[in-house]
Structure 1
């Protein structure tokens, strides 16, 4: 195994928002609290320690034990759950949708980043305890985003009727998906493990939340991962004061809108708040709560409440109130003794909208950490890259640019017209000096002719490069094939592939190698040769 790191910026796949955050650009510093470094964690520990109540810890531990009661937990996970009762125990958290069979490969990177950060903090702060948390997004209702995964270039899909919170979905029908997936896997030892993991997860559990918990627990329980389902009555009871505040005062809309007005001066906005950032959750629906005609209405239903009745409903039926993307982060931070949220670039972007809201409701805003990203390169692929003299950083170049560079470097001809353009510009500079002594029409004619001549040279340069690419077709094809293998659909493979492809090839050593390679606080992109 060979581990190389490059900056996120050099991959070209990360937004200006994220690059500026990592570089502590002055335009973005007011939108986060403590930075993800050891000093930042020291400050965050003190702040959270002084704000998180013992009673909340006890409710959390009871809820977790109830959620895990029918699962085979590791000793380390059990210990971590019990540690949450102690005032010197803190969490680091990542969250993810309930994607079919974990969905994109970066599901693993998120969780391993979280586990490794908890371990590193335990070394740096030996007087405290740190528990890695995976927050299951059980209340999401975007089924089309989670009902498939890609395996070996094929889409494995689960087709069923949509509606309601995905965590409550029945797993009925996934036996058909299992048959299709099994046919792709073959009969190796690693294939048998994947078949068993899928079948035990989806065919032996009644809903998607339990199935996802089983799979994540099987993959990571030895590292003490604790999995949280926020769709829990006791946990939501802890959140009821904030739900009532939202219903009565529309607090998040007012505060986040002001933040967005400042943030959008330099950065695109990831999500926009609604007047009320809550859903009403039933067995087969999750619909927005809106305030119209002096009534609280559940969108697309006949359900309505007066103010008094909806506040009473919050107390009586807290499970029915589901936070949207604006309020879910607050829910997480209210029920967990959390220090840090680890997520992808899109997630970080919407968290950056929320700091003032957290301050307004007097809940500590967590440290934000961009998750580890990884490019996997096999031994065979590494050999091809070496023969083609493609460096780690060049892998991520736009394909046209990469091909142009390599064709030019491999050519006996002088393909670049840079010197010729410079010579031409020098000639026109002399003509412009002469033109200054005449009238403006001659100056305009010189400028127009310069543009025409430079454009002509550029066109000739492009035609020569195109002809040379045809002549070097074998090189062009080899480069195109290897880059397409590494970056399917011209995207990072972690967004396209499922972990099962790599588990099939490498077995559990794939997870072990990732665990060894990922360094969350180094804030760099990892290239891993296996």
Structure 2
């Protein structure tokens, strides 16, 4: 299966922070533990093995078996859950929101990257076991971020009132969504499979957590993927010491604030993804997920009448730890406390905020995982590739913004020179003579010369733009065909993986789609993949 790779920096779609991280710039090394290279995993395994207790393994294994009690579990996944109880088993983890019907394509790339890294590690370290984990973000409350997916340029959306943790939402209204989606599908075999998959996930379960667990298990159980729901009383109990520290000492606020300042001072282009609060915890109950705040000596749940004294709060925490929900600052710490994890695989934005967290992990005496950028992919058909070749356009060219792409193509194929640089240089040389003349006369004449030079250069630049525009009109048919392909591969002038749902490709490839991704995605190859399917 033909593939091409493009350096992430050359795509122009990744931040300078992430590109510098991938280049292993020295200034960023204090913000992560070990860079994700195969040879670095040995030391990471040793660190995690030493710090991760047998008791935690036992509690985690029991919790996972309970979470899977009503699921059609595969022998591969069951074997992986059982293996977690062994001290020579470790996890590789990715996480994601409960997007409707998995949301954009990169959801698949995250999980496939995780599965493939486990395979690669097993080959390198045959005496250890490596379990791929998908962490369901069941406690999130950003419903507007997850209530739709894009299918063939149209938004399939679930409209309803929502409050509290999204995982606990009932599935009212999804019958109408199913009918709307079904109407866009034909009656071919792959389309029927998609209908049945959506129907079984969303019309035959009681809440969004169960629906997502069913869907992801159905898609990836053959590869032994283990799905974790962190909204679990027994798992939250393991996190109680860190919750207490957060409530009473505000360690994460101090450490992450310091890290943010240090990152900002390194480079003005490094964007801070998340800012900590004094208390980085929510309180969750039925239909409720609100911040915990402290006012004077009283701990309160924001926008409610719920409140406690310090002693009351600690008793409540010991009684119902599941009510305490970590926010984006604390969730990574929670994950690493309860999992024997070596590496977190995420997108650029995720890794950017993980880089803010290392000092907090050190203060909490929790091993900081390796951070691996998930595989990024653009899927291209043979027909699209053939069209590009006929148009003499490379796939790398399509990463340009459409205006810049049009300019490059026009400049390349135009029969006349569209670059007025020689004329500008000639004009500047003429004005040098005028400057010398002005210096020999009245110096006030210098201003008039400068103004005239600026006017003349501006005039040439305007002519250059008009000539380019005229040439673009002349080859409009050629540019339209290029733009059509770019719009197919980069919908909305964005990356395909951030926009398109997997079902568009499932229609053509069916059950072969995931094996094709498994076959071609190499998680430790830090380049953008162009995959012909």
User: Which TM-score band (shorter chain)?
Assistant: over 0.9
Equivalent position of 2:138 in the other structure: 138
State the alpha-carbon separation in 2 of the partners of residues 521 and 211 from structure 1: 31
From 295, 305, 313, the counterpart of 2:298: 295
Match of 1:427 among 427, 430, 434: 430
Structure 1: segments with no counterpart, 5+ residues: none
Give the Å deviation of 1:423: 2.4
Secondary structure of the structure 1 residue equivalent to 2:141: coil
Which of 397, 402, 408 in structure 2 is aligned with 1:399?
Answer: 402
Alignment of 1:42-441 (within 5 A): 42-265=42-265, 266=267, 267-433=270-436, 435=438, 440-441=443-444
Structure 1 segments, 4+ long, off by >6 Å, are: none
Matches of 1:362 and 1:504, distance apart in 2:
48
Q: Which residue of 2 aligns with 1:35?
A: 35
Could you tell me which residue of structure 2 aligns to residue 512 of structure 1? 515
Structure 2 residue runs of 5 or longer lacking an equivalent are: none
How many equivalent residue pairs? 530
1:525 is matched with which residue? 528
Partners of 1:161 and 1:455 lie apart in 2 by: 55
- In structure 2, how many angstroms separate the alpha carbons of the residues matched to 1:105 and 1:427? 57
For 2:310 and 2:3, locate their aligned partners in 1 and report how far apart those are by CA, in whole Å: 58
- Distance in 2, matches of 1:433 and 1:28, equals 50
Query: How many angstroms does 1:430 deviate by?
Result: 4.5
| Deviation at residue 439 of structure 1 after TM alignment | 5.4
Question: Which string of whole-angstrom CA distances, capped at 9 and with x for unpartnered residues, describes residues 141-169 of structure 1?
Answer: 01111111111111111112211111111
- What's the TM-score once normalised by structure 1's chain length? 0.98
What's the RMSD between the two structures over aligned residues? 1.3
TM-score (normalizing by structure 2): 0.97
1:317-359 deviation per Cα after TM superposition (whole angstroms, max 9, x unaligned) = 0110000000000000000000111111111111111000000
Q: For the residues of structure 2 that align with 1:476 and 1:392, how far apart are their CA atoms? A: 15
In 1, Cα distance between equivalents of 2:432 and 2:532:
51
Deviation at 1:73, TM superposition (A): 1.3
3-state SS of 1:171 partner = coil
- 1:384 deviates by 1.3
* SS of structure 1 residue aligned to 2:27: coil
Residue 26 in 1 paired to residue 22 in 2?
no
State the 1:432 CA deviation. Answer: 4.1
Shift in Å at residue 17 of structure 1? Answer: 1.0
Give the distance between the partners of 1:259 and 1:490, measured in 2 at CA: 34
Q: Distance in 1 between matches of 2:106 and 2:319?
A: 39
Q: In structure 2, how many angstroms separate the alpha carbons of the residues matched to 1:329 and 1:289?
A: 18
The aligned residue for residue 6 of structure 1 is 6
SS at match of 2:91: strand
User: What SS does structure 1 have at the residue aligned with 2:371?
Assistant: strand
Q: How big is each residue's C-alpha offset from its partner over 1:418-462, in whole Å with a ceiling of 9 and x where there is no partner?
A: 222222233334544555555543444433332222211111000
CA distance in 1, matches of 2:496, 2:428: 44
User: Any idea what the Cα deviations from partners look like across 1:193-251, whole Å, max 9, x if unmatched?
Assistant: 11111111111111111110111111111111000000000000000000011111111
